[in-house]
A and B are shown apart, each in its own frame.
Chain A
Amino acid sequence: MAMKVMVSVPATARKGDAVEIKAMAMHPMENGLRRDNDGKVIPRFILRKFECRYNGELVVDCDWHTAISANPYLSFFVKAVDSGKIEFAWTDDNGAVERHTATIAVT
């Protein structure tokens, strides 16, 4: 099953307003340092990149490392400039990408 993600983007906003965006992904963020009950190292498996684009323009670009918590949650503000699409992408250690798109109407 594809990775579960949740985002919150206001459906509407006034031009020039700062709007809050929230994004969370279900992920173990296994840091590669822990051992299982048999003493074997649990291989590292994290989300190593998060990107958010607003009508194609990159507005948030994160490189994540092993100290990020499981099920990482991010909240940030963007300035509402135009109606359109806000796209989210999480990339894991295997290069798999989970995408999500929300729309915003700016008046």
Chain B
Amino acid sequence: MRRVLALLLLLALPALAADRPPRSGLDYATPGVRAMQADDFANPGMLWVQEGLALWDRPGGMGGTSCASCHGRIEGFAGIAYPRRDPRDPDKLMNLETRIEKCRLDNMGAPPYGYESRELVALTAAVRHQARGRPVAVVEDADAIAAGEKEFRQRRGALDLACAQCHEANAGKKLRDETISEGQTNGFPAYRLRWQGVGSLHRRFQVCNQAVAAEPYPLGSQEYIALEWYLAKRGAGLLVETPAVRQ
């Protein structure tokens, strides 16, 4: 009960100016976390990137091929933009994780790794890492982005809070031991100290749903991919940080 009251008080505070340029979660992080992210040899997320690079070259599947056999060097993926629609089934939204799983199944003839498996997280991190320092690439799609924004503004859970109430109206304020950021996605997959490992963006969404006692959507669900798409658009101009370090 006391926690609910504290939240209500916090939400009564004035809203953040709407048309400021977006700020990365890094700007809200503590100096210790920032220092870890700034040094590739102190950023544990780089261990996952290393693992992802090794997986890129590892043969498997029915033809004994690796990602590299068909796609060449991983640097070639620096410019790819996800989420996007499945060209063969335009009602279906795909993010990088589900795209990689689909490629394993359809083209490589290998079993999918599983959404939050260490392998898929590592491979996704390695691919996204190729774009580090570049602006996040976003595919324009008004419908999908609108669907994502609806999720973002939807109040939910026992606390009846929308993503926007924390990440728009109260960015910069404290919630227990954390500083609420804008909920940007440019650092994902990210190393989270509390996870002691690298996790996907959808895992973060689930944590935020559970924080307001709402039932999370499944990892890789269409709702989360739409949300991911909207957040990428909302953060336009931010640079990719993968693998970011977060508390």
Q: Which residues of A contact B47 (CB under 8 A)?
A: 4-6, 24-26, 71
Cβ-defined contact, A1 with B54, below 8 A: yes
Give complex CA distance A25, B51 in Å: 12
Give the total number of A-B pairs whose CB atoms are below 8 A apart.
Answer: 37
Give complex CA distance A24, B41 in Å: 8
Interface size bracket, A side = 10 to 19
Cβ-defined contact, B51 with A69, below 8 A: no
Interface string of A79-103 (1 = CB under 8 A from B): 0000000000000000000000000
Cβ-defined contact, A26 with B51, below 8 A: yes
Number of B interface residues, CB 8 Å? Answer: 12
Q: Which of A6, A25, A70, A73 contacts B197 (CB 8 A)?
A: A70
CB proximity of A103 to chain B, nearest CB, Å: 17
Interface string of B4-40 (1 = CB under 8 A from A): 0000000000000000000000000000000000010
Give complex CA distance A6, B47 in Å: 7
B243 at the interface (CB under 8 A from A): no
B146 at the interface (CB under 8 A from A): no
Cβ-defined contact, A6 with B46, below 8 A: yes
- Supposing A28-B196, A69-B196 touch, asked if A8 and B41 sit within 8 A by C-beta, the answer is yes
Query: Interface residues, chain B, CB within 8 Å of chain A?
Result: 39, 41-42, 44, 46-48, 50-51, 54, 196-197
Query: Interface residues, chain A, CB within 8 Å of chain B?
Result: 1, 4-8, 22, 24-26, 28, 69-71, 73, 75
